[in-house]
Structures are given as structure tokens and as C-alpha cells.
A and B are shown apart, each in its own frame.
Chain A
Amino acid sequence: MSASDAAIEMRAPARGSSAAAIRAIFIVTFAITAFLIVTPLVALLYGSFRTGGPGTNATYTFDNWRGLLEPAILDTLLITLFISIVTSLFSSAFGGAMAWLTYRTDFRFKRALVAAIGLSFFFPGFILAMAWVILGSPGGVLNAFLSEVFGIDSEPFDIYSVAGIIWIQVLHITPFAFFTLRGPLSSMDASLEEAAYASGANPWQVARRVTMPLMIFPLLSSLLLCFVLSVEQFAVPAMVGIPGHVNTLATELYLLISFSPPNTGLAAAVGLAMSAVTGLSIFIQRRVVHRRNAPTVTGKGYRLHMLRLGRWRGLAEILCLLYALLSFIIPTIALLYTSGIKFFVANPFEAAWTWRNYVQIWESPGTVRSLINTLIVAGGGAVLGLTLGTLIAYSTHRLRPRGFRALDVLASLPFGIPGIVIGLGFLWSYVWLPIYGTLWVLIFCYVARFLPYATETVGAQVVQLDKSLEEAAWTSGAGRVASFRRIMLPLLRPALQSGYFLLFIAYFREIAAAALIYTSKTEVLSISIWSFFENANWGVASALSVVTTVITVSLMVAMTRAPLKL
């Protein structure tokens, strides 16, 4: 008989002891999430009915909501929609085409293409915008080139325009479309296409009649996602739109707050209207994702039939190379160049080379502090964000106590809220708290804004892990905590790593949410770069951008396996 006395002694009546602990953890998780996400939204709603900002002598009013119908705001809305629809169409077309080339054809440089798209995926939007200002503004490199080489002095390139915004946003958002579409494209059951070939269809007929219809839901999902990314885009319209007097909703909101006297009430109403547009799109997008019905393969060892591109292959390769050049390589060269010269001239042969811009980064205490701030916010904040995200993912996918659905909905809300709007909500609700003006506000704001990144990354892995892996630990005698630590955590490690990496990068380069809530003491890199740039100090701005890019890219290379796996 193996029942030892010790084993009997261990059997304390225990109903509820761990159930209560789990309940407590869930409630705390729920409370923190609700606080982070609901507070700013409620504050915005409240603010949209107030005549003045926090701390002012304000009363209730409907004027802010009426203000939405004023021609200036309506114009901005139309421009935003126009820019976003065009951006979404082009990004999805380019991203989809490149994903198709990579996973369905005999395109030769697949690894290089995926690497290039990965690089531009992580290339911060505000740095890309800055580079394209250097390249495409009147007096910029491209116009100078036309004038010097071809004698065209009319300066045909003007980046400070609607077209300029669309151009940069398409370059920036195309990778998102690529990553949204590559999964469905690469896992689609090849036998469906093969059956079409066997029935006598030629490659183009197969693409049109089989592949495209099967991809309709993923495509729709990509279109909606790119649309939302474009509506909420702040960096690009701020850097090229504001100088060109082209405003989108995001920059309009920013200007309403930052120009005296600030119109916080109207800004809140604009923010909520924006959130309605993005939130609705994300809601539809999620429904579409759930319905996506392209049959996929789960088995192993099948060979995809790769379409032979024939004489089109060379052209496809050149176009993809062009994308890499425009989205990453040329902008980087432009930044390196600008960061290495004394004052900006378009012609490198007339430039005076110098290290001064880099030296200035280290000599200016403000910049060093902003670098340190950024590292604290990204490095430390990502730990908090990842912890909260893991608790949420574990609760909603595994524990599933009463109320888990509400938590799931709460945690995915930030997907539909533009960064600048979350920033405004935090500005409004945290003004009262003692932590206002400290890095904590930034950290909380980023944790809230990027919560879905964490819950989705970790959640996807939790779903993959069979429940019995943990149950086997319990029946082996390990308690809840011990089995979580010894079984779940190690098994989740890959997801935790890539989640941390994603959050770090996102926090590191965030500008939209920070634009309204930073103070002189809590300036971060993205803000510093932007202000140097606005003060026409392109040299230091470029040098800082190069530093930021180097940090981002080396991080990406260090953890390359997750995003770049082909």
C-alpha cells in the first residue's frame, strides 16, 4: 500500500481555497484593465459635454457635438476618409501582391523580400515621414536633383500635400497588409488550386477564379485594418500635413489642444467621433476574420504548387526591390546623409561633413534624458504591459471565470481607439492624480493603448497549449502556482519573448499617444526628434533618428525569428 501518512495529512479540506485565489486574481486583473481603458473613455465623454478643460470653470453644453458639423471639421473628416480609403486600397494591393509573390509563386528573393518588409514594418512612421520631407519637400533632395540634372526648376515634388501623406502612409502600412494576408495565403489548401489546374484552367484563371474568391475575407480584413491604421495615423499628417495645411482628424484634434486657447471640449468630441469610425471598422474586421472561410491545410508534408511567373518574374522582382528602396533604404540613406552634414544642402558634393549632430545628442542634457525616459518607458513599461496581457490572456482563454467575456471585450477595445484619442483621454483623467507629469502616465497610457498586442500574442499561444498539459501537472501533485510557473511559463516563453519585443518597439517609437501628455520632464525620443525637426534642426533630428533606427533594427535582428520566419 502506497498511501503514506504524509499524503493523508496533506488532504486538508480545500474547496474554494484556490478557487478564491483565482477569483481574486481575476478581479484584480479586471479592475486594472477597466481602470486603464474605461477611465479615459469616460473622461472623454464627460469632456465632450463641458465648455472648458479640466481645472477650468466650465459648465455643461452640447456645443462640442454641434461643432462636429461645422464645415471646417466636416472637411477634415472628408479628407481623412479620402486619405484613409486610398491608403487602404494601395497598401492592401501592394501588401497582398507581395504576399502572393512570396507564398504562391516562384519569385526568387523571398527571404530578402520578407526581411525588407520586416524592416519597414519596424521602421517608425515619424522617421519615415521625416526622411520623405528631406527627400520630397520643396528644396528637398528630389527637386534639387531634377533641377541640377535635368534643369527642371518648377519643384514638381511637394510632400506637404494630400498626395504626400498618402504616399508615405502607403509605404508605412503596406507591411501590415502583407502580414495580415500572408497567413491565409500560405496556409490555403493547395489542392483547391490544383483541382482547378487539373480542370484545365490556366494560371491566371486559377488566380482569378479560385485564389481570389477564397481570399475575399482575408482581403476585406486587410482593407479594414489598413483603413483604421490610416485614420489613426498621427505622425505622418503631423509632419507633412501640418506644414502643408492639410489636416486629418488626428492632427485637428492635436491642434485644438495645443493652440491657445485650447478647445478641449471640441477635441473630445472629435476624438469620440474618430473612435466611432475606427471602432466600428475594427468590429466589422473582427467579424470578418471569424468568418474567413478559406479552407486551410493542417497536415504536414504537402508541397505547394508554386506558380511559374515566366517573363513577368523579373518585373515583379524589380518592383519589390523598388518597394524596399522607397520604404526603407533610401529614407535611411537620406537620414544618414542629413545627420552627417553641417547644414542642409540637397547636393552632397556641396555638403560640409561633420560629427557635430551626433555629439550634440550627448551634450544636450534634454536629449539624454529623453533617451533614458524612452528606455525606462519601453523597457519597464513593456514588463507591466506584458504581465497584464498575460493575466488577461490566461483568464479569458483558460480560467474562464464568470465575466471573462467582458474582460475580453475590454482588452480588445484599444484596437479601435486612435493613439491621439487615448492620449487625450489620459490627459483629461490623469490631470487630477499625483502621478501626473511623471513617466507613469506615459507608461499607463502605452500599456492601455497596446494591450491588444500583448493579449493577442500570448493568447494565441495559450490556445495552442492543450489544457491537459497543465492538468497533468496538477494530477502529478503540483499546485496552481507551481504548475503555472514550471509548465505554463516555460511553454509560453516564445510568445512572451515576442510579446515583449513587440511592446518594447511599440512603446519605444510611439508618438501619437505621447504628443498630448508629455511634459518637459517626461519627453521621450519620438517627441524630441519631432521638436528638433519642427525647429528646423534637421541635422540633430536625423542623428537621433539614426540612433533610434539602429536600436530598433538591432532589437529586431536579435529577436528576428518571430516576425521574419518564412
Chain B
Amino acid sequence: MATGITIKGLVKRFGDKTIIDHVSFDIAVGELVCLLGPSGCGKTTTLRCIAGLEAPEEGRIEINGQPVFDSAEKLAVEPYRRNAGMVFQSYAIWPHLSVFENVAFPLRVRNTPNAEVEKKVMRTLDMVGLADFRARSAQQLSGGQQQRVAVARAIVHEPDVLLFDEPLSNLDARLRDATRAEIRRLQRELNVAAVYVTHDQAEALSLADRILVMSEGRIHQAGTPQEIYGAPRDAFVADVVGATNFLDIAVHAVGDGTVQGVAPDGAPLRVTGRMAAPGPARVMVRPDRLRVAPDAGEQGENCLHGTVRQRLFMGGHYEYAIAIGPTVLRAFSPVQVAEGGRVTVSFEPCDCIVLETRGAP
């Protein structure tokens, strides 16, 4: 597949603080990549470097194979020559222009003939479901409508890349789901590379072809949502993409792809992962992968025994806090056990992953 965006060795500093620290990645044409990470890790800055709104100190950026920035060649294409479409976190809808003129702006500055402007704007407004609002002043729109105007403005001129900076952060849950699906559909239709910044893990998991987890200006792990969620490299990534449980275990046998050890309560364990040698290790298992059952004296591999500390009804399931020795595990389960009851907690070896210890919380 052709690459839509290529970034090599990007470095951005503010003063003597390095905000982006040698970041490199490729995004294929038609691919949607989410930048995920805690606040202040440099997601917005990365996006702004691609758009040309920040001047990086080092590195090279290509859009569709054309260099738009290269520190060695002293090349920096102005933002308005990069043919990008960007949705700002603040929407940046121009209050003095109507909905139609906001969306028409990218075409107007490219001297598009009026008839074509009319056609393209209306088609785009149709796509985002705002055709009836064309004459409205942008100030008379709700947050969700403004957001859709911002999306329409970003795609109307058929850009080479799409850049989204937390575009849904101000919407309510239902509108967010609907608009997210819409964004995905539009991006597929345009078949361009897209970068989507968010710090909402659910959004990243559901939307992305690939997720780049960022931390302190570096790409910490890259992979498909399934990989990131199912096989996080370490506790940091595991934490960023969703609620999770950590267990410290003692490993006594290392196999090919699996390791064996004992849990804090003495239960035998077999879990997924590679280790150089036996020793202490930290593993993680998602709360929804834990099976909870009333304690029937059952013993065996990956079967822990504990007491229910707390039970919260969440609608579709219960959320349990289960004390296993000194550790407390969170588990989501439809099974009903009263607080204080004894339970067994079990899981499949493939759902429990050995983590790298570096970066453990």
C-alpha cells in the first residue's frame, strides 16, 4: 500500500524541553491511525507538525511521498500548501461566516468556480447531515453541529491527509458514537491517510486501524487495537487502553510463548509471554476476561480463590472487587455473588500477559 504520511526522526522542542523525541511512523493511504496517550505527551504537537503549524527542530515529514518538511534540506512547506484537512479540538468555526461559507472556504481560496463550490459544499453538507443548515450563521449551531461543520470543512477539498485533534471531546456520549462512525465512513470513502488524536481509549479501540501509544514524546507501542489491548508491552500501555489488573507472580518455568509460576495465594499459573529466565514477573489480565464463580472448592491451573469486597451493579454486569491475598482484582461478570462471599476467579492462559517491568507503575 502507498504511504500517505511518513515521519522520520521528528524532534520538537519548546525552549529546552523536548516535547517530541525522535518519533517515526508511517501511515498508509486509507489507514486511520489513533494517537493515544496521557495529557501532555505530545499528541497535539505531533499533529500540528504534520499540518505545518509548528516548526520541528529535526526530522522529515512526507505527505503522499512528497517531502513537506526536512530539517536537513531546510524545507518547510507552509501549512496552506500541504493540502491537509484538519479538525481542531476547538472546532475553529468562523463566527462571521455562514455554515455554507465556512465549508466553502477551502474551495474559495483555491479559486474554485462557483458552480463547483455549490455542488461540492452541498454534497459534503449532505454527508454530514447539515444540508438544511446551509444558511445558518455558525454561531447558531449546537456543539455537535459545529463539530460536523468542522469535519465538512476539513474534507470538502478532498485533502491528501486528514488530521483530527480530539474532535469529539465536547460531545455527549450518544452523539459521539454516531459522529465517530460517520468520521470512519467518510475517511474510508475519501481513502486518505488519517491521524486521529484522542485520549479516550474506547474511541481509539473502536475507530483505529492502528494505534500509536505515546508517552513523553515517544511512540511507546504501535499496533492494531487488538494487539494493543490484548498484548500490551508493559503496564503503561495496558493501563492507557483500559481498566486492567496487575498481579505479581513468581515464575519457575519458562516455555516457548508461555511461562509457569505461582500466584500470591499459591495457585499454579500458566500465562502468555516470553522471559529470559525464571524469576519475579508482573502479569496483567483484563477485568472482562476473568470468570467469577461461587467457591466450590475447585482447584487447578489459573484458578484463584478470594473474597468479594465490593459489588457494583453496572447494568449488563456486576463490577466486583475481589481480594486475593493482599491483591485486589477487578472483575466484570454477570454472575451474582453477595459481598463477603467466597469466589473462585479463573482465566485462560491467553488472556493473561507477562509485561515488561520497565515503566511499571
Which residues from chain A sit less than 8 Å from chain B, CB to CB? Answer: 1-3, 7-8, 10-18, 466, 468-469, 471-480, 482-483, 486-487, 490-491, 493
Contacts and interface: CB of A to CB of B under 8 A. Distances in A.
Most B Cβ at <10 Å: residue of A8, A476, A478: A476
B153 interface: yes
Contacts of A14: 76-78, 81
A475 B51 contact: yes
B82 interface: yes
A163 to B, nearest CB: 52
Contact of A478 (B53, B80, B96, B192): B80
B88 interface: yes
B79 A471 contact: yes
Given A2-B159, A472-B153, A475-B163, 8 more contacts: A2-B192, A3-B66, A8-B66, A471-B51, A472-B92, A475-B154, A477-B81, A478-B105
B1 to A, nearest CB: 12
B68 interface: yes
Contacts of B25: none
B135 interface: no
Contacts of A18: 78
Interface in B80-94: 80-86, 88-90, 92, 94
B174 interface: no
Given A2-B158, A8-B66, A491-B96, A471 B109 contact: no
B147 to A, nearest CB: 13
A466 B80 CA distance: 18
Nearest to A493: B96
Given A2-B160, A3-B160, A476 B78 contact: no
A469 B92 contact: yes
A468 B163 CA distance: 14
A493 B97 CA distance: 13
B74 interface: yes
Contacts of A468: 88-90, 92
B237 to A, nearest CB: 30
14 contacts: A3-B160, A10-B83, A12-B77, A13-B77, A468-B89, A469-B94, A471-B51, A471-B53, A471-B79, A472-B86, A474-B80, A475-B53, A476-B85, A493-B96
Interface in B35-89: 51-53, 64, 66, 68, 73-86, 88-89
Contacts of A477: 80-81, 83, 106, 109-110, 157
B191 interface: yes
Interface in B88-117: 88-90, 92, 94-96, 105-106, 109-110
B322 interface: no
Contacts of B154: 475
Contact of B68 (A11, A473, A483, A490): A11
Contacts of A1: 2, 29, 64, 191
Contacts of B78: 14, 17-18, 474, 479-480
Contacts, number: 111
A8 B2 CA distance: 16
B109 A476 contact: yes
Nearest to A2: B158
A219 to B, nearest CB: 35
A388 B74 CA distance: 33
Nearest to A470: B92
B190 A2 contact: yes
Contact of A471 (B88, B96, B105, B190): B88
Nearest to B192: A2
A16 B73 CA distance: 13
Chain A CB count within 10 A is highest, among B77, B92, B160, for B92
A13 B81 CA distance: 10
B43 to A, nearest CB: 15
Nearest to B101: A486
Contacts of A490: 96
Interface string B221-248: 0000000000000000000000000000
Interface centre among A3, A473, A478 (most CB of B within 10 A): A3
Interface in B137-151: 150
A15 B105 contact: no
Given A476-B109, A477-B110, A478-B109, A11 B94 contact: no
A15 B74 contact: yes
B77 A11 contact: yes
Contacts of A471: 51, 53, 79, 86, 88, 92
A391 B290 CA distance: 64
B77 A473 contact: no
The 6 A-B pairs at the shortest CB distance, nearest first, are namely: A472-B92, A15-B76, A2-B158, A468-B92, A476-B106, A474-B79
Contacts of B77: 11-14
Nearest to B78: A14
A11 B80 contact: no
Contacts of B74: 15
Q: Which of B51, B68, B76, B191 has the most CB of A within 10 A?
A: B76
A491 B52 CA distance: 23
A466 B90 contact: yes
Contacts of B150: 472
Nearest to A17: B78
B29 A475 contact: no
B80 A3 contact: no
Nearest to A465: B95
A496 to B, nearest CB: 13
A534 B82 CA distance: 68
A14 B74 CA distance: 9
A346 B68 CA distance: 81
A92 B68 CA distance: 58
Q: Name, among B52, B84, B105, B192, the residue most crowded by chain A CB atoms within 10 Å (CB to CB).
A: B105
A466 B92 contact: yes
Nearest to B85: A475
A479 B77 CA distance: 12
Nearest to B63: A3
A3 B64 contact: yes
B86 A475 contact: yes
A14 B68 CA distance: 9
Contacts of B109: 473, 476-479, 482, 486
A564 to B, nearest CB: 23
B105 A473 contact: yes
Contacts of B81: 10-12, 14, 477
A395 B82 CA distance: 25
- Interface-central residue, A3, A473, A477, A482, by most chain B CB under 10 Å: A477
A1 B189 CA distance: 11
Contact of B82 (A12, A473, A475, A479): A475
A2 B64 CA distance: 10
Given A3-B160, A468-B88, A482-B109, A475 B80 contact: yes
Contacts of A473: 80, 94, 105, 109
Interface string B158-177: 11100100000000000000
B185 to A, nearest CB: 17
B76 A476 contact: no
A474 B53 contact: yes
A14 B81 CA distance: 9
B328 to A, nearest CB: 40
Contacts of A469: 92, 94
Contacts of B79: 471, 474-475
Interface string B317-336: 00000000000000000000
A16 B78 CA distance: 9
Nearest to A13: B75
A474 B84 CA distance: 10
Contact of A11 (B66, B86, B105, B192): B66
A300 B82 CA distance: 40
A471 B163 CA distance: 13
A17 B95 CA distance: 30
Contact of A476 (B29, B80, B89, B160): B80
Contacts of A493: 96
A12 B150 CA distance: 28
Given A2-B190, A491-B94, A7 B160 contact: yes
